[in-house]
Structure 1
């Protein structure tokens, strides 16, 4: 079978740290090339990874079957729509587009072109979170915290909600089954309109879900706590697993062979997208599924601006 030809658009920090190491190490597909509007910097990066640099976005599309997009959120609609119109399958960093209306247009375009369109919510593919999800049949309470040491500003509230808090909302709702409704919450900003703290409460039937983020907590810690009938689970930084029962506490070490990119879900996310393209199956984070958390986050922002 012919190997899938993969391209990369955008060669910034996230592409270099998370995606190129995964895509460049594979044997089941070919890393065909890359493109970024910053030509000189892009050429250096392509040389270090020994991949061809395309002279334009359309030139890259002509050489590829599928493309990973890691450009700024503001460019997502233009870049993704151009790739879809060129007949290329796309996996794009979250959020799908800068606003829900543009995201819906991209979903409709992909459906019309019969192409795979996936949003790269990497935490859904983190092995620890996937394992936790299988244990939550009788969960009563679920809480996810993702804090920052000192990351207040320089961007405004809307940017931070879409760039970072979106991960928390998406992961927590996915772990809880995806049907919870927003009940209440708080958003604290400074005088410049930059986010300081967010906490929100969701509910579905008997399940209560809380999401929380402080931008100056003195810690980079991320953890999920789930309370079920007889067991309390905690996963810290997508690595440490702890479960507490009446007869003691069980901790699970991270497998020695497992890389950080595997632990954080980037490797699993990339493989899932490529498998979906090869098998013509629907990705876990396509269409409305990918927009669930973004709709909520945009609602939080609109309500904060109207106060």
Structure 2
């Protein structure tokens, strides 16, 4: 029986309680939060759960095998470090840390302690994203030109991190996962309209060695809630809309090809041949399941088997490297910054 501890019992933390409690060979053993109301709510969700007010007391509990960290991003490094040093497996919510150096420290510590370090990049456990990856890898879309992602809504505005560190980790992990590589450089532009020095809207551009472009738009100031990924290939195009209940992926048999004439065939300025294709729309059938449950199940399996998690520390580091470079770009008027 694997006993799980949770640090951070807000709304998202209670989702972890619900999911882990329904897994085989797992007991949601204890939780911790500074806010008494959150602990009481957690007790209503799971009356048998043990509660702590101090994270260090939970970390020191020898009954606990693994700890979930669902706290503000600025606390991730210190808490994860203490958990690993105490011999606990760790699942950290995104982003793993706020600097690449801190992420590398946790990766090395997990290796030294021979413990699982996993990051909550939940979108990589979304069946629709996994299916989209299969579609791209099968070359059904052809060569990928570019993709753009929208993650917008009205609120929740935070003061501890800007909107990019809050929302973009999801989309950066999606892009890295779909393309199968890390960008070579990034550029980011944003503005702080509500809270001074805290960007509430950011436009992030990622460039890859394969000439693929990926654009990410994140905002706390948008009238519409969007969770959409659009992928443009030279054969077909695909759209993943996570706000759809059932038909989350649509494949468009559409495209354009350019066939320039030879020089002597030019009759006037701009003479060329364009061929447009307007084909059918295909909606793949998906076996939908809750991404968080899939993520929790994977974490438990990795603890049991010792296998490397799909979203391990290295995966988390790659996302943090993009965020750190994008932050430098934000502070320097959108200049492109190379990924270290």
Q: Aligned partners of 1:41, 1:140: CA distance in 2, in Å?
A: 45
Q: Distance in 1 between matches of 2:25 and 2:9?
A: 22
Contact preservation (8 Å) 2:67, 2:90: yes
Pairs within 5 Å for 1:194-273: 194-237=199-242, 239=244, 240-245=248-253, 247-252=279-284, 258=288, 262=290, 265-273=291-299
Q: Which residue of 2 aligns with 1:298?
A: 324
Distance in 1, Cα, partners of 2:154 & 2:238: 28
Please state how far the C-alpha of 1:238 moved relative to its aligned partner: 6.1
Aligned residues: 297
Q: TM-score, normalising length from structure 1?
A: 0.86
RMSD of aligned Cα (Å)? 2.4
Unaligned runs of 5+ in 1: none
- Aligned residue number for residue 147 of structure 2: 143
Contact 1:43 1:53 survives alignment (8 Å): no
Between structures 1 and 2, the one with greater helix share: 1
Task: Name which one, 1 or 2, has greater alpha-carbon Rg.
Answer: 2
Equivalent residues of 2:188, 2:327 under 8 A apart: no
Helix, strand or coil for the counterpart of 2:148? strand
| CA drift at 1:242 | 0.7
Asked if the contact 1:140–1:229 (Cα under 8 Å) also holds between the matched residues in 2, the reply is yes
Runs of 4+ with deviation above 6 angstroms: none
Structure 2 gap segments, 5+ residues each: 254-277, 334-340
Quote the residue 1:14 is aligned against. 12
1:83-102 paired onto structure 2 within 5 Å: 83-102=83-102
Aligned to 1:33: 30
Q: Closer, same or farther in 2 for the Cα pair 1:186/1:73, shift >3 Å?
A: closer
Q: Which of 177, 181, 184 pairs up with 1:178? A: 181
The whole-number CA distance in structure 2 between the counterparts of 1:75 and 1:267 is 24
Please say if residues 184 and 208 of structure 2, whose CA atoms lie closer than 8 Å, have aligned partners that are also in contact: yes
Corresponding position of 1:23? 20
The alpha-carbon deviation at position 229 of structure 1 amounts to 4.2
Q: Is the 8 A contact 1:146 1:220 kept in 2?
A: no
CA deviations 1:97-145 (Å, max 9, x no partner) are: 2333222222221111111111110001100000000111344134232
